């Protein structure tokens, strides 16, 4: 095999409404998974066995979603060995889908490498066994999501810029979802209502239902949100530690980021409709054919 690299893009939850709780304990939700131009990188190289290495990440390999993805696809098959090195850029535990996106990229890369011939739909079914938000990264489109995050409808939105701050705290998703003060009965909305809403910054209509509990449990998140709120409606992404400000003004985003770096780690990124993984897969597939 030849060595190749593939990106694993991040996402932001433009809002997150929890609309109910199922009998199995999972929460029903509505959200938009906004893909952004910021990513990890997975490097695929020849090896004797299946080996996964994490660059700067302390997650045990056996618990890593990339390794689990490889085990899913290789089960019952005789496949060539491969070493996958994950170069991390997406904040771990930041609510930006880093682990899930890494898993989705691993599924695509190994499907191509091992010539398994699975479709995106089939790979997404594998991905759902790894996590509810893996399928959106497999499909590679910014999407409206319902269910537990696996019911997806691609959605086209105007370009935005995001200032993302990463407070120094590790958020426990389980702790948030078990908290008695968590809102679990938000009214469901439609995609049409979302698209018709002229003021997306209205936090009474579009919010993250996990945010108030997170402010209680992790005061540093509240501090970062309050600081960003000087320039607009800031939000927390998913159930992670990352918070973001959305704007259509690239210059404003750059200025806010420069001011923020005195107190927080952070970066600026741009919204995308289609994952950078889509084009990268096409290029790698062409190189295999040559």
Per the residue annotation, which of 40, 87, 102, 133 is the catalytic one? 133
DSSP-based three-state secondary structure for 131: coil
Active site residue 133: yes
The answer to whether 105 and 277 are in contact (CB under 8 A) is: yes
Contacts of 241 (CB under 8 A, 6+ apart): 91, 93, 94, 95, 166, 167, 168, 169, 170, 171, 218, 220, 221
Per the residue annotation, which of 11, 87, 102, 209 is the catalytic one? 11
Active site residue 156: no
DSSP-based three-state secondary structure for 285: helix
Q: How many CB atoms are located within 10 Å of the residue 100 CB?
A: 24
Sign of CA dihedral 238, 241, 242, 243: positive
DSSP label of 85: E
List strand residue ranges (DSSP E) for 47-113, in order. 50-55, 82-87
Q: How many CB atoms are located within 10 Å of the residue 165 CB?
A: 28
DSSP label of 188: P
Q: How many CB atoms are located within 10 Å of the residue 85 CB?
A: 16
Whole-number Å distance between alpha carbons of 10 and 101: 7
Question: For residues 128, 131, 133 and 135, what is the CA-based torsion angle, rounded to 10 degrees?
Answer: -30
Tell me, rounded to whole angstroms, the distance of Cα 150 from its chain centroid: 13
Whole-number Å distance between alpha carbons of 144 and 25: 22
Question: For residues 158, 15, 96 and 131, what is the CA-based torsion angle, rounded to 10 degrees?
Answer: -120
DSSP-based three-state secondary structure for 53: strand
Q: Which residues are catalytic?
A: 11, 133
């Amino acid at each position: 095999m030849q060595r190749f690299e593939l990106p694993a893009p991040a996402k932001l939850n433009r809002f997150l409404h929890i609309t109910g709780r199922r009998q199995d304990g999972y929460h029903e939700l509505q959200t938009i998974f906004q893909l952004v131009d910021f990513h990890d990188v997975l490097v695929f190289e020849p090896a004797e066995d299946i080996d996964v290495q994490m660059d700067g990440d302390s997650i045990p390999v056996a618990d890593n979603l990339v390794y689990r993805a490889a085990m899913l696809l290789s089960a019952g098959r005789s496949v060539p060995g491969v070493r996958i090195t994950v170069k991390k850029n997406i904040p771990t535990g930041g609510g930006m889908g880093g682990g899930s996106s890494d898993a989705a990229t691993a599924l695509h890369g190994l499907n191509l490498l091992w010539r398994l011939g699975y479709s995106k739909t089939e790979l997404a079914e594998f991905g759902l066994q790894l996590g509810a938000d893996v399928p959106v990264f497999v499909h590679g489109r910014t999407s409206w999501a319902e269910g537990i995050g696996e019911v997806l409808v691609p959605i086209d939105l105007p370009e935005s810029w995001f200032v993302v701050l990463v407070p120094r705290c590790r958020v426990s998703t389980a702790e948030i979802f078990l908290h008695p003060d968590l809102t679990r009965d938000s009214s469901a909305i439609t995609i049409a209502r979302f698209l018709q809403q002229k003021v997306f910054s209205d936090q009474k209509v579009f919010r993250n239902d996990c945010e108030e509990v997170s402010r209680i449990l992790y005061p540093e998140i509240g501090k970062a949100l309050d600081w960003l709120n000087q320039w607009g409606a800031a939000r927390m992404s998913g159930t992670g530690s990352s918070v973001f400000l959305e704007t259509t003004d690239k210059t404003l985003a750059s200025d806010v980021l420069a001011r923020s770096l005195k107190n927080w780690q952070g970066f600026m990124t741009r919204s995308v409709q289609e994952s950078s993984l889509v084009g990268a897969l096409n290029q790698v597939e062409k190189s295999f054919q040559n």
